[in-house]
Amino acid sequence: MIHFKRLNDLLSRKYWAPVSAVKEHKGEAMNTLYNFVSGPLAWVAFIIFFVGCLYRLIRILVLVHKKEKYIYTYMSWKYSFRSILHWVIPFATVNWRKHPVLTIVTFAFHICLIITPIFLLSHIILWDESWSVSWWSLPDSLVQAMTLIVIGSCIFFLIRRLISPEVQYVTFASDYIILAIVAAPFVTGFMSYYQWFGYQVFTILHILSGEIMLIAIPFTRLSHMLFSPLTRAYMGSEFGGVRHARDW
């Protein structure tokens, strides 16, 4: 009988279902860790992210002003925005048309990457509780699909880095780490959402990996989030104003 009971216990959800809420007083260490990563550490990450971004932007503008003043002679709003506009529309440039699969993946990836965390209900609830600011959210099912798109795209980018010679030529070891930094919040968020196993661990890792990504943005290649419009503006102006050619 005892054996039957043990078997029954094992088969019941007791051992793999998340710990029920009332029994949770046992996991106080986890909760302390959660409070730390979602409290003080979140502040640190957001401050480093915003101050870091501002610092990098100011620094690049100061550097231009010091070293490459002559570009002011041909920088133009018209050519800048013409270039940016072409490059933010899928298949609007020759390069996008030449690589249709990459184009679809990279657009899907970037859109989902940015939209998902900002319009996820759980994030909005936490911001509302902390700062009393809130905005509309996407349904969880849609966000889950978008999360899978991000994860799938990361796998695509990884394979592309591994097998494509022209990409390998500009690949450093750090690029793989950066790819992992980007994928991690989405993988852990997915695991945390479905609560299959290790819910608390995945939730803490999710927050932690999100903070690592925020901190990494201003100081790694992820800073193309800040600089890509500037690069495009520069290219667009030079091609439009100096070479009298298209840059798309």
Partner 1 sequence: MKKCFPILLLLLTVSLFFLVYAYSQEDMRFINAEAFENPQRPPTVFNHDEHNELAQIEECNECHHIYDKEGKRVEDESSEDQSCSDCHEPKASGRKPALMKAFHINCKGCHKEKGKGPVMCGQCHVRRPNVED
Q: Report the interface residues with partner 1, using CB under 8 A.
A: 12-14, 17-25, 28, 31-32, 34-35, 121-122, 125, 128-129, 139-140, 192-195, 199-200, 203
Q: Which is nearer to partner 1, 105 or 191 (CB)?
A: 191
Q: Which is nearer to partner 1, 100 or 139 (CB)?
A: 139
The residue assigned the tokens 């690949």 is 171
d(CA 227, CA 113): 17
Vertex 142: Cα angle to 138 and 144 (nearest 5): 110
Smallest gap from Cβ 34 to partner 1, in A, equals: 6
How long a stretch of residues is the chain?
Answer: 248
- One DSSP character per residue, 43-87 reads HHHHHHHHHHHHHHHHHHHHHHHHH-GGGGGT--HHHHHHHHHHH
- Start-to-end C-alpha separation, the chain: 75
Smallest gap from Cβ 154 to partner 1, in A, equals: 24
Smallest gap from Cβ 115 to partner 1, in A, equals: 17
Smallest gap from Cβ 118 to partner 1, in A, equals: 16
d(CA 232, CA 201): 41
Q: Which is nearer to partner 1, 193 or 234 (CB)?
A: 193
Smallest gap from Cβ 56 to partner 1, in A, equals: 33
Q: Which is nearer to partner 1, 14 or 246 (CB)?
A: 14
Q: Which is nearer to partner 1, 129 or 166 (CB)?
A: 129
Q: 143 and 189 in contact (C-beta within 8 Å)?
A: no
